Amino acid sequence: MKATRAEVCIAACSDAWRGSGEVLAHAVGTIPAISARLARLTHSPELVLSDGECHFLADALPLGATGTVEGWAPFGRIFDILATGRRHSMMGASQLDRFGNQNISLIGDWRRPKRQLIGMRGAPGNTVNHRTDYWVSRHSPRVFVDRVDVVSGVGNDRARAHPSPALRFHDLGVVVTDLAVLDYAADGRLKVRSLHPGVTADDVRAGTGFDLEFAGAAETRLPDERELELIRTVLDPAGARDREVRS
């Protein structure tokens, strides 16, 4: 059976953790959570996995399974850990602009939101303390907007405009969507790194509310046999991935 779109996305997200070293993988969402476990079982055995609550897991197991615990980090510790920089986040985004400014807080005016979303959560602190990537399960012009209503996660333009060295740990990596992998050009703007198999540049253009650079865009790699086996038999036998990304 050939790889599904969800499996291509998991492999692409897994690649995002490559080279992060011995840091805590903070993965929000089904595809990112599976991808961190896949990275741990393949190219990044040193990655630290969490159950999303207060335990670090000794083994990469299916979502929801705990197994052997290798550390205790209740919520109060998480803020100390992220301040050390030994963490790498892959968060969602309700809105993203061309410089990677992310909004998960609200839609409309903050004084009286048209739609209250989940709030700032940890996005301001994550983005100024350690590497942050984004996962967007539905690539659309509603997400990729010219201007986000509220900046929760700090983008490259703002980080670079900051006059003091306090933002020297700001580090936006990639944005993985159900259509493509995006990263940032030297000027801090999003560009297309690769299109998933079967996706055209026009598909991505139609889903993006601003101009994107496609020069040099490759095709996103397919997961290899071992990755497919791990995804299908070990990490996500119940197929939770297909509920987040339809093939």
Partner 1 sequence: MTLASVTEHVRSGMTVGVGGWGSRRKPMAMVRELLRSDVDDLTLVTFGGPEVGLLCAAGKVRRVIYGFVSLDSIPLDPHFRAAREAGRIEATEYDEGMFVAALRAGANRLSFLPTRAGLESDVMTMNPHLRTVASPYDDEVYVAVPAVRPDISLIHLNRSDPLGNGQFLGPDPYFDDLFAMASDKTLLSVEKIVSTAELTATERSTSLLVSRMFVNGVIETPRGAHFTSCDPDYGRDEEFQRHYAASAQDEESWQRFRETFLAGDEASYHEAVREFHGVYA
198 interacts with partner 1 by CB under 8 A: no
243 interacts with partner 1 by CB under 8 A: no
- Looking at residue 2, the DSSP 8-state letter turns out to be P
Longest Cα separation, the chain: 53
Cβ proximity of 62 and 241 under 8 Å: no
Binding mask 52-71 for partner 1 (x = CB under 8 A): -xxx----------------
Radius of gyration over every alpha carbon of the chain, rounded to an integer in angstroms: 17
Give residues with Cβ within 8 angstroms of 36, minimum separation 6.
Answer: 13, 14, 17, 25, 27, 47, 49, 90
116 interacts with partner 1 by CB under 8 A: yes
What is the closest distance, in whole angstroms, from the C-beta atom of residue 159 to partner 1 in the complex? 6
Contacting residue, 76, 202, 215, 216, with partner 1 by CB under 8 A: 76
Contacting residue, 1, 2, 46, 112, with partner 1 by CB under 8 A: 112
Contacting residue, 36, 151, 195, 217, with partner 1 by CB under 8 A: 151
Q: Which is nearer to partner 1, 163 or 216 (CB)?
A: 163
Binding mask 118-147 for partner 1 (x = CB under 8 A): xxxxxxxx-xxx------------------
Cβ proximity of 20 and 233 under 8 Å: no
Strand order through the sheet with 131-136: 24-27, 87-91, 131-136, 171-177, 180-184, 190-195, 218-219
Helix axes 5-16, 30-41, angle to 10 degrees: 60
What is the closest distance, in whole angstroms, from the C-beta atom of residue 103 to partner 1 in the complex? 8
The binding site for partner 1 (CB under 8 A) comprises 53-55, 72, 74-76, 79, 82-83, 105-106, 110-125, 127-129, 150-154, 158-159, 161-167, 169
